[in-house]
């Protein structure tokens, strides 16, 4: 009895703490902490001084690594400054990432104390885009950079709709309760576009009302994205019909490409 209770307590324990840090105009950097080893990782720390300042709330923790989602300046632009100051490794998806010391491939893992961080190659926005997925105890989280936003997705700068659908499908297949930590606060404008696409979607309406009140909307969840993100819903016939008139002949990637073009000029 006591043992089973102990096991239950243990299974609910999570070693993971995540703190968002607002940077630049609308970027999010994140601090990822492992409570067991007292190690910290910075995700896309574009303004190092702001992220280091936020880490001061956790004086027992030591910075161990940088995780970079992709090579764009507003995500990777703080890496060199930090690497000059700390003897740490910077992870990323290609040598285009400023300061990268270790290039990750799909499904590679990185260890931060008790936390196993899995790299998901998610091309489309850039060809070196990596999302970082972590599962610990009952807690699951994914850092999605500029691949997936709350109720939106990144522009297809380097990849095709086929690349992006592959990436979004990987994120769709994560457990529903996975928390989604995205790279920009675009939620209100994304939801206005989502509403333009799906006028009768109550979940979008409710989320827009909420987002207008709270300001900072990170994290989302995979379950919520399935309900409110038009780019995650292009595989649903009810949604694709709203985007392409003759959806019966269109592939899911045709629909995704058309939807992205609509958003680009919205
Ligand atoms: Zn970007």
Tens digits of residue pLDDT in 144-157: 999 999 999 999 99
pLDDT in tens, 44-68: 999 999 999 999 999 999 999 999 9
Per-residue pLDDT for 208 more than 70?
Answer: yes
The mean per-residue pLDDT over the stretch 240-264 comes to 90
- Which residues, including other chains, have CB under 8 Å from residue 168's CB and lie 6 or more apart? 124, 147, 148, 153, 231, 232, 256
Which tokens is 69 given? 């989602």
Provide the pLDDT for residue 82. 98
Sign of CA dihedral 229, 231, 235, 240: positive
Ligand 1 centroid from CA 122, angstroms: 12
Cα 43 to middle of ligand 1, angstroms = 14
Instruction: Report the separation in Å between the CA atom of 220 and the middle of ligand 1, taken as the mean of its atom positions.
Output: 19
Range(s) of the domain holding residue 209: 2-264
Of the chain, the end-to-end C-alpha distance in Å amounts to 59
pLDDT band at 12 (very low <50, low <70, confident <90, very high): low
Active site residues: 70, 72, 74-75, 125, 146, 184
Number of compact structural domains in the chain: 1
Q: What residues have their beta carbon closer than 5 A to ion ligand 1?
A: 72, 146
Kind of pairing, strands 62-67 and 89-92? parallel
Share of the chain above pLDDT 70, in %: 95
| 72 Cα–ligand 1 center, Å | 5
| CATH number, position 155 | 3.60.15.10
Q: How far is the CA of 125 from the centre of ligand 1 (A)?
A: 7
Over the chain, what is the mean pLDDT?
94
44: nearest Cα among 93, 115, 7: 93
Query: For position 5, what pLDDT does the model report?
Result: 46
What is the reported pLDDT for 1?
Answer: 42
pLDDT at residue number 250: 86
Query: Cα separation of 91 and 89, whole Å?
Result: 6
């Amino acid at each position: 009895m006591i043992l089973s209770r102990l096991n239950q307590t243990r299974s609910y324990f999570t070693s993971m703490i995540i703190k968002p840090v607002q940077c630049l105009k609308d970027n999010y950097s994140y601090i990822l902490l492992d409570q067991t080893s007292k190690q910290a990782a910075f995700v896309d720390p574009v303004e190092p001084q702001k992220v280091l300042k936020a880490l001061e709330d956790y004086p027992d923790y030591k910075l161990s690594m940088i995780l970079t989602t992709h090579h764009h300046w507003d995500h990777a632009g703080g890496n060199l400054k930090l690497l000059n100051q700390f003897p740490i490794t910077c992870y990323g998806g290609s040598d285009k990432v400023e300061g990268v010391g270790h290039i990750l491939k799909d499904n590679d893992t990185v260890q931060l104390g008790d936390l196993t961080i899995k790299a998901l190659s998610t091309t489309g926005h850039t060809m070196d885009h990596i999302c970082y997925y972590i599962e610990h105890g009952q807690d699951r989280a994914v850092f999605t950079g500029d691949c997936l936003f709350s109720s939106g997705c990144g522009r297809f700068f380097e990849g095709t709709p086929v690349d992006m659908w592959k990436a979004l499908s990987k994120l769709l297949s994560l457990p529903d309760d996975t928390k989604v930590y995205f790279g920009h606060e675009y939620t209100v404008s994304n939801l206005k576009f989502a509403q333009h696409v799906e006028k009768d979607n109550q979940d979008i309406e409710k989320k827009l009302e909420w987002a207008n009140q709270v300001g900072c909307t990170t994290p989302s969840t995979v379950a919520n994205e399935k309900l409110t993100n038009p780019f995650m819903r292009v595989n649903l016939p009810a949604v694709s019909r709203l985007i392409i008139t003759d959806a019966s002949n269109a592939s899911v990637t045709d629909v995704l490409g058309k939807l992205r073009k609509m958003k680009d000029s919205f």
